[in-house]
Amino acid sequence: MAKDPQDQPVAALLAPDILELLEESPGDVAAETEELHPADLAAVAEQIPHDRVRALLSALPKERAADVLEYLDEELRAEFLEEIPTEQAAALVSQMTPDDRTDVLEEIDEAVAEEVVSELPAEARAETERLLQFEPDTAGGLMTTEFVSVSADVQVDEALEQVRALARSGRREATYNLYATDRDGRLAGVLSLRELLAAPPGAKISDVAWTDVVSVSPQADRQEVARTTANYDLIAVPVVSESGHIMGVVTVDDVIDVMEEVQTEDIQKLGGMEALDEPYTSIGFWAMIRKRGGWLTALFLGEMLTATAMGHFEGEIAHAVVLALFVPLIISSGGNSGSQATSLIIRALALREIHVEDWWKIALRELPSGLALGSLLGLVGVTRILLWQFTGWYDYGPHYRLVAATVGIALVGVVTFGTLAGSMLPFLLKRLGFDPASASAPFVATLVDVTGLVIYFTVALLILRGTLL
Amino acid sequence: MAKDPQDQPVAALLAPDILELLEESPGDVAAETEELHPADLAAVAEQIPHDRVRALLSALPKERAADVLEYLDEELRAEFLEEIPTEQAAALVSQMTPDDRTDVLEEIDEAVAEEVVSELPAEARAETERLLQFEPDTAGGLMTTEFVSVSADVQVDEALEQVRALARSGRREATYNLYATDRDGRLAGVLSLRELLAAPPGAKISDVAWTDVVSVSPQADRQEVARTTANYDLIAVPVVSESGHIMGVVTVDDVIDVMEEVQTEDIQKLGGMEALDEPYTSIGFWAMIRKRGGWLTALFLGEMLTATAMGHFEGEIAHAVVLALFVPLIISSGGNSGSQATSLIIRALALREIHVEDWWKIALRELPSGLALGSLLGLVGVTRILLWQFTGWYDYGPHYRLVAATVGIALVGVVTFGTLAGSMLPFLLKRLGFDPASASAPFVATLVDVTGLVIYFTVALLILRGTLL
């Protein structure tokens, strides 16, 4: 999540002091900022001039600087790491947890990243190269490989001693949970640090660990990881290979980042565009135009069919210009009811409240919904026409009653169709293997616009034949 | 998150076995299911006949049944708790953590809830009554009051002993972090359980705790709690009173639930409706129609202005029916570009990438974006008309060049206006104190539809005067 100066009053207050200290006695910066949360120190770094960021990070011990880097704005971090000597960058990222290290290396220039990796200590290098092979959006790409595992045969006090030794070593394992392994090294149980502390000292780990371990495969996509974490209220979810060996854990802070990313993408897709994949504030102008223009053109090409449909009814419009007046009202009502239904169904599918094979149940529910909503709007529409006619605000001609009936009945049809089409399209897309969120509201609106015109003019032909038409 | 039978293969496999066991030897159910995650057991409960749920939960020890209840579907849980004798319900919910207990009591019938509270043991009752006074959507409403605090003066080994004693007592504190308090009981520091284990035994808590504690006030809204948790990668965020005393902690699993709720509401609002506040599958038909019909009618009333606008240009349409053909194409392009801009800005505001006072910077960026996107669509539109004319697919009359120019120029104007209006509306709404997400795409589309018609016919009057008009 991007830092907000307003949300970070601490940072805004501290920035001038820290800048001054950097100028006058850089040696004191580390001690003076020791108690600050690294996220706050990162926010300070984002508020001082760019050329001072390097001085600030150099004034901190390496491990602390690595902490701050983890919270720093992506762009600023990439800029900084590409600028400093490769060995320095390697020394810094080697202090990071393996998952954060991989993320950071994926952000920076590929050539620089390769050099940095080659400068890492052998063990960290091997681990980093292995993690870099996973797709960033999978459990493998999200996991950290530093977690605590103990043999299931070990006694509780011995396990506790192992945890304490690890904690003191300054390594940075995810220590919320202990993972117990069997003699073949396969994951055999899990217990929380709290449960370890509560366990009777003489017991074996296998006596106190939970053997029903919730886990994901390294290929699991990020949404599955998030869903598993949310469903089971986990702090960390273990990533387990087909052979049953634990390869790493995804921690809940990364799951929260995933949820935010997915939400941003969903909202952008619903808005009828490609996901930006970059903050609005940092994406380049033409990159953004491309992501918006592509979908906008696609929708435009679809919407051209409305001109074709209207062309078919040009004769009717010429005879009864009054019909044209209600075209925007009618097609937008179809579009609005369609986008309501689409948003509802997309979200219910994402939350797994409903499933692809339930499509007919939803259709059976949305059909009466559409009829009810269409009747509501039809009633309002008829009232509007009659009111305008009787008060003399507008004259819809001698056949105003038939015009009102046409609009009213067309609204029932268009809204019902919009609701049904809007609710079924996500199922269709999901069935075809696409992301239902791409059934964005504007896409439904375009579909419904064309059909809405056909419905409207067909109703008009039926009702007005012999009078206006 | 609702449970998904497909995501819970364990539950689907186990349900028949557990049902059989319940029939034949209910006394063995507890032991046989001991290793199951309570979320899986809750999923089993959701898959067996409703009248067996009570038998299943009665077969479990109270604490275990309370665990399962925490993961159970809200409706099923409310139904169950309202059905069993009040004392039994009280005995069950008294086993829950205070925050979950409060949540559960807020879901069930108010009269029943009051009776259940009156049956709670004195301490739990007082705590529950206190928590029920907070708004559910604030930090106070989300927090649990069972956390671990120690005096900052205490030595590390003594603190560790306190934690172990608490863990063994079977109480259910959030033990990820230890909160250190000063002599007046105010929050003075925080350290993780891991840091406690790593600390040198002779040290005092005040020597090893972090004094810069990130916290929220009890009135902080749920979005602020989520943002703080995400920004600082927290597992639990302490809720601190004005006087500096820690009142409770919000744990990350509740933050994840909040993020899901907020996302659902945002998507529903963007879809042009009120947030349902209930799963799609459990909300009543008429309750849903009300939530959808309200906004749909509001949008319809706004969209009626298009009929008024079209009425103004009835004479022009009668003269040049060809103009009517492009009305849907033009106004939908404005609507689509508007909803793109709206979704982008709403999300960037929510992520605090941009701020209300940046509106003019965004306007300066969206103006050229709108012009670029409008020119793109204008070009496509002109090409379409010329292509149809030359190939003979449609005859736009002798002035087809002027018609094409009208459509092209109107598209530039409408898309630019749509983009600008769509990007500025969220700022306006936020400035007025509304949720920018309510500037849902359909609302922008309605606004842009009316304006788009005026732009289109004005351009037509300027270009076609003397020829078609």
Res A6 pLDDT > 60: no
Enumerate the residues of chain B whose CB falls inside 8 A of the CB of residue A368: 285
Tell me, yes or no, if A195 comes closer than 8 A to chain B by beta carbon.
yes
For A205-218, the pLDDT digits (tens) are 999 999 889 999 99
Enumerate the residues of chain A whose CB falls inside 8 A of the CB of residue B381: 300
Question: How many Å apart are CA B463 and CA B64, to the nearest integer?
Answer: 77
Q: What pLDDT is recorded for position A238?
A: 95
Tell me, yes or no, if B132 comes closer than 8 A to chain A by beta carbon.
no
Tell me, yes or no, if B33 comes closer than 8 A to chain A by beta carbon.
no
Q: Tell me, which fold does domain A5-134 have in CATH?
A: MgtE N-terminal fold (1.25.60)
SS (H, E, C) A239-279: EECCCCEEEEEEEHHHHHHHHHHHHHHHHHHHCCCCCCCCC
Interface of B with A in 423-442 (CB under 8 A): 441-442
Interchain contact, B369 vs A272, CB within 8 Å: no
Phi/psi of residue A467, nearest 5 degrees: -110, -85
Q: What pLDDT is recorded for position B26?
A: 85
In the predicted model, what is the mean pLDDT of chain A?
A: 89
- Residue to substitute from B142, B267, B290, interface A, most A β-carbons within 10 A: B267
Q: What pLDDT is recorded for position A23?
A: 87
Question: How many Å apart are CA B313 and CA B461, to the nearest integer?
Answer: 10
Of the ranges A16-20, A432-436, B51-55, B134-138, which one carries the lowest mean pLDDT score?
A432-436
Interchain contact, A292 vs B340, CB within 8 Å: yes
Interface of B with A in 367-406 (CB under 8 A): 368-369, 372-373, 376-377, 380-381, 384, 394
Res A411 pLDDT > 90: yes
A50 contacts A79 by C-beta, under 8 angstroms: yes
Min Cα distance B50 → chain A (Å) is 18
Looking at chain A, the whole-number percentage of residues with pLDDT higher than 70 is 97
For domain B147-251, the CATH superfamily is CBS-domain (3.10.580.10)
- Residue to substitute from A7, A32, A194, interface B, most B β-carbons within 10 A: A194
Under 8 Å CB-to-CB from B396, ≥6 apart: which residues?
Answer: B322, B385, B388, B389, B403, B404
Interface of A with B in 140-179 (CB under 8 A): 160, 163-164, 167-168, 175-176
Tell me, yes or no, if B187 comes closer than 8 A to chain A by beta carbon.
no
Question: How many Å apart are CA B408 and CA B385, to the nearest integer?
Answer: 10
Chain A's closest residue to B393, CA to CA, is A308
Question: How many Å apart are CA B412 and CA B425, to the nearest integer?
Answer: 20
Burial zone of B428 (CB within 10 Å; 0-12 exposed, 13-18 middle, 19+ buried): middle
Could you tell me the two tokens for A4?
Answer: 């907000």
Min Cα distance B467 → chain A (Å) is 18
Enumerate the residues of chain A whose CB falls inside 8 A of the CB of residue B40: 212
Question: How many Å apart are CA A132 and CA B392, to the nearest integer?
Answer: 57
Could you tell me the two tokens for A303?
Answer: 């919407």
Interchain contact, B266 vs A263, CB within 8 Å: yes
Question: How many Å apart are CA B450 and CA B456, to the nearest integer?
Answer: 10
Interchain contact, A280 vs B442, CB within 8 Å: no
Tell me, yes or no, if B447 comes closer than 8 A to chain A by beta carbon.
no
Res A24 pLDDT > 80: yes
Q: What is the mean pLDDT of residues A282-288?
A: 87
Under 8 Å CB-to-CB from B352, ≥6 apart: which residues?
Answer: A1, A2, A3, A4, A6, A7, B227
Enumerate the residues of chain B whose CB falls inside 8 A of the CB of residue A288: 369
Res A173 pLDDT > 70: no
Which residue from A272, A345, A446 is facing B340, i.e. has the nearest CB?
A272
Interchain contact, B344 vs A257, CB within 8 Å: no
Question: How many Å apart are CA A282 and CA B351, to the nearest integer?
Answer: 13
Question: How many Å apart are CA A261 and CA A266, to the nearest integer?
Answer: 9
For A109-163, the pLDDT digits (tens) are 999 999 999 999 998 999 999 999 999 899 999 999 888 999 999 999 999 998 8
Which residue from B231, B351, B381 is facing A264, i.e. has the nearest CB?
B351
Q: What pLDDT is recorded for position A50?
A: 85
Tell me, yes or no, if A279 comes closer than 8 A to chain B by beta carbon.
yes
Under 8 Å CB-to-CB from B222, ≥6 apart: which residues?
Answer: B137, B138, B139, B142, B258, B261, B262
Could you tell me the two tokens for B449?
Answer: 């539809």
Enumerate the residues of chain B whose CB falls inside 8 A of the CB of residue A307: 325-326, 328-329, 384
Tell me, yes or no, if B100 comes closer than 8 A to chain A by beta carbon.
no
Enumerate the residues of chain B whose CB falls inside 8 A of the CB of residue A415: 296
Enumerate the residues of chain A whose CB falls inside 8 A of the CB of residue B394: 308, 311
β-pairing, A187-192 vs A236-240, is: unpaired
Which residue from B176, B264, B348 is facing A280, i.e. has the nearest CB?
B348
Enumerate the residues of chain B whose CB falls inside 8 A of the CB of residue A342: 271
B286 contacts A368 by C-beta, under 8 angstroms: no
Which residue from A40, A212, A339 is facing B271, i.e. has the nearest CB?
A339
Enumerate the residues of chain B whose CB falls inside 8 A of the CB of residue A280: 344-345, 347-348, 353-354
Q: Tell me, which fold does domain B285-464 have in CATH?
A: Tetracycline Repressor; domain 2 (1.10.357)
Interchain contact, B342 vs A303, CB within 8 Å: no
Q: What pLDDT is recorded for position B34?
A: 86
Which residue from A266, A271, A380 is facing B339, i.e. has the nearest CB?
A271
Under 8 Å CB-to-CB from B125, ≥6 apart: which residues?
Answer: B117, B118
- What's the ipTM? 0.85
Q: Number of residue pairs across A and B with CB atoms under 8 Å? A: 393
Tell me, yes or no, if A216 comes closer than 8 A to chain B by beta carbon.
no
Place of tokens 């392994």: A181
Comparing B427 with A170, the larger pLDDT belongs to B427
Enumerate the residues of chain B whose CB falls inside 8 A of the CB of residue A209: none
Under 8 Å CB-to-CB from A300, ≥6 apart: which residues?
Answer: B329, B333, B336, B377, B380, B381
Interchain contact, B355 vs A325, CB within 8 Å: no
Question: How many Å apart are CA A98 and CA A95, to the nearest integer?
Answer: 9
Tell me, yes or no, if B223 comes closer than 8 A to chain A by beta carbon.
no
pTM of the model: 0.85
- Residue to substitute from B321, B385, B444, B451, interface A, most A β-carbons within 10 A: B321
Interface of B with A in 312-351 (CB under 8 A): 314, 317-318, 321-322, 324-329, 331-333, 335-337, 339-340, 342-348, 351
Interchain contact, A336 vs B272, CB within 8 Å: yes
Tell me, yes or no, if A35 comes closer than 8 A to chain B by beta carbon.
yes
Which residue from A198, A211, A327 is facing B164, i.e. has the nearest CB?
A198
Stretch (H or E) spanning A374: helix A359-391
Q: What is the pLDDT along chain B (469 residues), one digit of tens a residue?
A: 333 434 456 777 788 888 888 888 888 888 888 888 899 899 899 888 888 898 899 899 988 999 999 899 888 899 899 999 999 999 999 988 888 899 899 889 999 999 999 999 998 999 999 999 999 899 999 999 888 999 999 999 999 998 888 888 876 666 789 999 999 989 999 999 888 988 988 899 999 999 889 999 999 999 999 999 999 999 999 999 999 999 999 999 999 999 999 888 888 888 778 888 888 888 888 888 888 898 889 889 888 999 999 999 998 999 889 999 999 999 999 988 998 899 889 888 888 888 888 899 999 999 999 999 999 999 999 999 999 999 988 888 889 999 999 999 999 999 999 999 999 999 988 888 888 887 567 778 888 999 999 999 999 999 998 887 7
Domain ranges of chain B: 5-134, 147-251, 285-464
A397: how many CB neighbours lie within 10 A of its CB? 13
Enumerate the residues of chain B whose CB falls inside 8 A of the CB of residue A168: 198
Min Cα distance B59 → chain A (Å) is 20
Q: Tell me, which fold does domain A147-260 have in CATH?
A: CBS-domain (3.10.580)
In the structure, what pLDDT confidence band is assigned to residue A447 with cuts at 50, 70 and 90?
confident
Q: What pLDDT is recorded for position A3?
A: 36
Interchain contact, B235 vs A235, CB within 8 Å: yes
